C-alpha cells in the first residue's frame, strides 16, 4: 500500500475497491477495438483502498477482488478491534472476528448512521477525475497518482 506513515490504521476505517482504466466512450473507434477486448472490468486494474476517517488513505493494486487478496490487505493495515466499514462484497465476510465489522449494502442504502464507505468513494472520485481521459493507465501510474494525492493531504471530514 502506498502511504509513507508507519503503523496500523485504527478507529473508524473504511475499505473498498475500484477498477481503473480507460473509458471506451472516450476512445477513437480504432483504439477502442484494439484496447477494449471485454466488458466491465476485464481490461482494468483492481485497486484496493483503506481509509482511516479523519486520517490517511492507503491504496494498493490487487490481483483480484477475492477474499484472500482483500482480507490480507485489511489485516496488514488495520489494527485489530478497529471499526471496519465495507460494502456488501462477499470477500469481506469473516472479518467480524478481528474487527467491529459493519456492512452497508448499496443495493438497499448508501448510509446507515456511521456505517458507510462514502469517504473512500469520494477519494476514488477524486483519483479518477485526476487521471481521467482515454488512457488505460498502468498500476504504477495509479499508485503514483494516489501517493501524490496523499502528499496533498486528502483527508475526510468527521461527521
pLDDT tens digit string along 47-57? 999 999 998 89
By residue range, what is the domain housing residue 105?
Answer: 12-151
What is the model's pLDDT at position 154?
Answer: 45
Question: Is 23 part of any domain?
Answer: yes
Question: Is 5 part of any domain?
Answer: no
Residue 15 has pLDDT above 90, yes or no: yes
Give the pLDDT band of residue 20 (cuts 50, 70, 90): confident
Residue 66 has pLDDT above 70, yes or no: yes
Question: Is 82 part of any domain?
Answer: yes
Question: Smallest Cα–Cα separation from 34: which of 132, 116, 118, 134?
Answer: 134
Tell me, what CATH number does 79's domain have? 3.30.420.10
For the entire predicted model, the pTM comes to 0.74
Q: What's the chain's average pLDDT?
A: 79
Angstrom CA distances, 6 to 46, 48, 58, 77, stand at 24, 18, 11, 10
Residue 89 has pLDDT above 80, yes or no: yes
Question: Is 122 part of any domain?
Answer: yes
Question: Is 85 part of any domain?
Answer: yes
Question: Is 49 part of any domain?
Answer: yes
Contacts of 82 (CB under 8 A, 6+ apart): 9, 10, 11, 12, 13, 99, 100
Question: Which residue is listed with cell 467491529?
Answer: 100
DSSP H helices, the chain, are 29-35, 67-77, 118-130, 139-151
Structural domain count, the chain? 1
pLDDT greater at residue 127 or residue 132? 127
What is the model's pLDDT at position 38?
Answer: 58
What is the model's pLDDT at position 6?
Answer: 66
Question: Is 4 part of any domain?
Answer: no
Question: Is 65 part of any domain?
Answer: yes
Would you call 130 helix, strand, or coil by DSSP? helix
Amino acid at each position: 500500500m502506498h502511504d509513507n506513515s508507519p503503523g496500523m490504521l485504527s478507529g473508524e476505517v473504511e475499505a473498498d475497491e475500484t477498477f481503473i482504466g480507460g473509458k471506451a466512450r472516450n476512445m477513437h473507434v480504432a483504439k477502442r477495438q484494439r484496447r477494449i477486448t471485454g466488458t466491465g472490468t476485464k481490461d482494468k486494474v483492481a485497486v484496493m483502498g483503506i481509509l482511516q476517517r479523519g486520517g490517511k488513505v492507503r491504496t494498493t493494486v490487487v490481483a483480484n477482488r477475492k477474499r484472500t487478496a482483500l482480507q490480507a490487505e485489511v489485516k496488514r493495515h488495520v489494527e485489530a478491534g478497529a471499526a471496519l466499514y465495507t460494502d456488501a462484497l462477499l470477500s469481506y465476510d469473516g472479518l467480524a472476528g478481528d474487527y467491529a465489522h459493519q456492512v452497508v449494502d448499496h443495493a438497499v442504502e448508501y448510509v446507515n448512521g456511521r456505517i458507510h464507505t462514502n469517504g473512500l468513494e469520494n477519494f476514488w472520485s477524486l483519483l479518477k477525475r485526476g487521471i481521467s481521459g482515454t488512457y488505460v493507465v498502468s498500476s504504477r501510474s495509479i499508485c503514483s497518482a494516489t501517493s501524490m494525492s496523499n502528499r496533498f493531504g486528502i483527508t475526510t471530514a468527521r461527521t
